Structure 1
Amino acid sequence: MKPTVLFVCIHNAGRSQMAAGYLRELSGGAVEVRSGGSEPGDSINPIAVQAMAEEGIDISEAVPQLMTTEQVQASDVVITMGCGDVCPVFPGKRYEDWELADPKGRPLEEVRAIRDDIRSRVEKLLAGLVPAGVQEA
């Protein structure tokens, strides 16, 4: 059974979508990836889409979604990114809070730095979830 990771940020329009895009790509399908927001936005941040496209990852079709209690319960790992205390906590789950700047309203150069930080964190997360050689990166 493959591990399940849920990425959560407030609007589910930037950080969590970039992290989900990286984990889907880098895991080669070895991890089930979900993302959601505590107050989902109307659309994906176009600068985040542009920054990820530079990496060859298309998140343009992603739609911000409300994070649900059921998603949290069904996930092995829950990564929060600035959603504060709104994320439900269940015993036995692995939680991490990634302190990342919100890319909303920032220029591409700053979003690239956030993107690169997210990639580094996703690579470390993936190394701890999936044995080497299983992912196709």
Structure 2
Amino acid sequence: MDAKPSVLFVCIHNAGRSQMAAAYLQHLSAGQIEVRSAGSMPADRVNPAAVEAMREEGIDMAVETPKILTIEAVQASDVVITMGCGDTCPVFPGKRYEDWKLDDPAGQGIEAVRPIRDEIRARIETLIGELLPQH
């Protein structure tokens, strides 16, 4: 049996965009894809507006905590998706890289976070279609 594809989502604080993307991928792929998320400078906690926006989708991120980006996490992932971390994300040959241009939900209210969440969901659905063609 082939190993599951693996995806790493990276943003600076690992508190909003990358957490929402990881939660969606875990949820929508029904565990068929290995999911990681990290930040180059992790925040103390996940953005409460992001947690609330995902709760509206039936996904609980309240227990998640921001994690520091490690070289090992990048090496262990087939796909690395960055979200506004600029030059702080390490690059390794042979990996598939994407940079998703998304507004930063930091300091935003739920009304501003919802469209970011919805765009992330659309991108995640496309990604699942690419990684799990039989899905």
Q: For the residues of structure 2 that align with 1:29 and 1:12, how far apart are their CA atoms?
A: 21
Cα distance per residue 1:86-137 (max 9 Å; x no partner): 111011000000000110111111100000000000110110001233xxxx
Q: For the residues of structure 2 that align with 1:22 and 1:63, how far apart are their CA atoms?
A: 16
Gaps of 5+ in 2: none
- Letter in structure 1 aligned against 2:71: T
- How many residue pairs match? The answer is 133
What's the counterpart of residue 104 of structure 1?
Answer: 106
What's the counterpart of residue 36 of structure 1?
Answer: 38
Computed over aligned residues only, the root mean square deviation of the Cα atoms, in angstroms, reads 0.6
Q: For the residues of structure 2 that align with 1:66 and 1:93, how far apart are their CA atoms?
A: 20
What's the counterpart of residue 95 of structure 1?
Answer: 97
What's the counterpart of residue 82 of structure 2?
Answer: 80
Deviation at 1:74, TM superposition (A): 0.7
Gaps of 5+ in 1: none
Runs of 4+, deviation exceeding 2 Å: none
State, as a whole percentage, how many aligned pairs show the same letter.
66
Equivalent position SS for 1:22: helix
- Letter in structure 1 aligned against 2:116: I
Alignment of 1:1-137 (within 5 A): 1-133=3-135
Cα distance per residue 1:51-100 (max 9 Å; x no partner): 00000001110000001011001100000000001111011000000000
Q: TM-score, normalised by structure 1?
A: 0.96
Q: For the residues of structure 1 that align with 2:126 and 2:134, how far apart are their CA atoms?
A: 12
Q: TM-score, normalised by structure 2?
A: 0.97
Q: For the residues of structure 2 that align with 1:132 and 1:117, how far apart are their CA atoms?
A: 23
